[in-house]
Amino acid sequence: MHTGNNISVAMLVKDVMSKEVLTVSTGTPIRAAARTLADNHVGCLVVVKNGKVIGMLTETDVLRSLAEHGGAGIESKCVEDAMTHYVIPTASRSTIESAVRLMNENKIKKLPVIDDGRLVGIITASDIITAQPDMIKGIKMLLTRKYEA
């Protein structure tokens, strides 16, 4: 049962996360990573090294790299040069409410889902909106907020 902005106790990250996560290695050329983003209609790739999540590459990261390095300069850049080097994960057994809180506190829209050191999924603000229409008010600020670079 939902009331106002409250979330059902039973609604967990694992209930709405995407289990199919696209990953990329640090040495992948930016152009190839951008093609993967476009071809798969996704907003980010999880960066892995030696089986561990070490970063995220978002559409914004790719655009920022393009703006900084220009068209020709981008050819020599790899994922490691453009990725976000910090990762704020959540666990599959975390509540949706805690995931939204993490997103809001850190001004991000995507969280890799990591259980016992292993990537098991990804949850996005869009996933939450789709699964929980009652939460639209709760994450409205996150989706409409304009962030400084």
Task: Express each pLDDT in 36-57 by its tens digit.
Answer: 999 999 999 999 999 899 999 9
- pLDDT band at residue 130 under the 50/70/90 scheme: confident
The CATH number of residue 80's host domain is 3.10.580.10
Question: Would the CA dihedral through 56, 60, 66, 69 be positive or negative?
Answer: negative
């290695």: which residue's tokens?
Answer: 25
Structural domain range at position 79: 13-144
User: Is 127 exposed, middle or buried (CB count within 10 Å of its CB: 0-12, 13-18, 19+)?
Assistant: buried
pLDDT of residue 102: 95
Helices (H) and strands (E) counted in the chain, each on its own, are 7, 5
**Total-model pTM:** 0.78
Is residue 4 situated within a structural domain? no
Q: Are 81 and 119 in contact (CB under 8 A)?
A: no
CB atoms within 10 A of CB 16: 19
Higher pLDDT, 148 or 58: 58
Mean pLDDT (whole number) for 15-41: 94
Is residue 128 situated within a structural domain? yes
Q: How many domains does the chain divide into?
A: 1
- pLDDT band at residue 147 under the 50/70/90 scheme: very low
Q: How far is CA 41 from CA 16, 35, 63, 79, 87, in A?
A: 18, 10, 16, 18, 22
What is the 8-class DSSP label of residue 94? S
Is residue 139 situated within a structural domain? yes
Q: Which two tokens stand for residue 105?
A: 């506190």
Is residue 6 situated within a structural domain? no
The secondary element (H helix, E strand) that includes residue 49 is strand 44-49
Q: Are 95 and 101 in contact (CB under 8 A)?
A: no
